[in-house]
Amino acid sequence: DPAKEAESFVAQVIILNHPGQIGNGYAPVVDCHTAHIACKFAEILTKIDRRSGKELEKEPKFVKSGDACMVVMKPNKPMVVEPFSVYAPLGRFAVRDMRQTVAVGVIKEVTKKEPGKPGDKAAAPAAKGAAKAAKK
């Protein structure tokens, strides 16, 4: 199963210490394995209970410290992640902002980009490199 770039992913995020509120469109740096890439909170799906995982509120406007939520996140640059259940090291991440850890999360599901989609600039150089490697 080769690594594929993630278009977006759904994650369970627990907000640890954020001074304000986090709403849709918040774009902090996500540290996943060795990658440090800005990811946008595209859509906060639900606010959930930290312990039981039960849904408390659908599509909340914002979440604050101490809340747990399910979020659709979109990486701003190419990033490879996996669901926590499939491959744990690439399935957990820390959310950093203002030089401190704001939240932590586990990835529940990933929407992967198909390699070489038209209009995908990142796939062209990779394909050239693969072709060179195949010639050797």
What's the pLDDT score for residue 50? 87
125: pLDDT strictly greater than 60: no
Nearest to 11, CA basis, from 83, 86, 89, 77? 83
Helix residue ranges, H only, the chain? 123-135
Compute the residue count for the chain.
Answer: 136
Give the Cα separation of 20 and 31 in Å (integer): 21
pTM for the predicted model, two decimal places = 0.79
29: pLDDT strictly greater than 70: yes
Residue 48 confidence class, pLDDT cut points 50, 70, 90: very high
Which residue carries 């599901």 as its tokens?
Answer: 109
